[in-house]
Structure 1
Amino acid sequence: MMSGPAADQITFDDFMKVDVRVGQVLKAEPFPEARKPAYRLTIDFGPDIGVKRSSAQITKHYALDELHGRKVAAVVNFPPRQIGPMMSEVLTLGFPDADGEVVLVCVDREVPVGGRLF
């Protein structure tokens, strides 16, 4: 389980450097080349950010067919990262369950894609 004490305090300006946006999953595909079980996600973040790809280790709690159309949160301003044969452009966010498996961060009301966390 990934818990523990709070991280060091940061300023509000530090927080604002992390650009977390809501996006809508357009496509979810198997990603057998990943080291750990994962899916390859294509996510729409609206006209300002565009469509981005992400590798997400969410296979324990989510089936491919239930991800299409789901709203997810992601960090959109990290540099792209090579994950096996794909370039992951955003970090899809989640919390660990009691077994350390990822549960996606999601919104509980309708919001437009591209909205920024504040």
Structure 2
Amino acid sequence: MHLDHDPSAAPADTIGFDDFLKADIRVGTIVEAEPYPEARKPSLKLRIDLGPGVGVKKSCAQIAALYSPETLVGRQVAAVVNFPPRQIGKALSEVLTLGFADEEGRVVLFQPDRPVPNGSRLF
């Protein structure tokens, strides 16, 4: 799957609301973060508390260009929780942590502007 990070790109094909609902996007709090130097792109390994319905899940995120592990613990982020797990090098990524590319292509994390309960679903 190719994702276009160009802000001037045209929108993707139109989908129905039911298609949107198939992506289960939840908010969670990062409870652990550590470097992942074995990854091809600057990455961190995260453990995210996604609330009682989902639990604590692992994510490998290409965010090391802008974030250090010590600045992430306690921060809320959004993640897709219903993709199948992916092997990223030697680590298993159970959820996809969401972000946007900045002008230089570095990932900026997506987070709510106010605290919300872990496990809250995006709608």
Matched, 1:56 2:66: no
Paired position in structure 2 for 1:40: 45
Give the count of matched residue pairs. 118
Secondary structure of 1:66 counterpart: helix
State the Cα deviation string for residues 54-78 of structure 1 (Å, max 9, x = none). 0011111111111000000000000
Counterpart AA for 2:5: M
Choose from 93, 99, 102 the match for 1:97.
Answer: 102
Paired position in structure 1 for 2:76: 71
Secondary structure of 2:18 counterpart: helix
TM-score normalised by length of structure 2: 0.94
Following TM superposition, the consecutive aligned residue runs of length 4 or more in structure 1 with deviations greater than 6 angstroms are none
| CA distance, structure 2, for counterparts of residue 105 and residue 46 of structure 1 | 18
Unaligned stretches of 5+ residues in structure 1: none
Q: Once the two structures are aligned, what percentage of the paired residues are identical? A: 60
TM-score normalised by length of structure 1: 0.97
Give the RMSD, CA atoms, in angstroms: 0.9
| CA distance, structure 2, for counterparts of residue 5 and residue 74 of structure 1 | 24
Counterpart AA for 2:88: I
Secondary structure of 1:29 counterpart: strand
Unaligned stretches of 5+ residues in structure 2: none
State the Cα deviation string for residues 21-57 of structure 1 (Å, max 9, x = none). 0010000001011111100000000110000000011
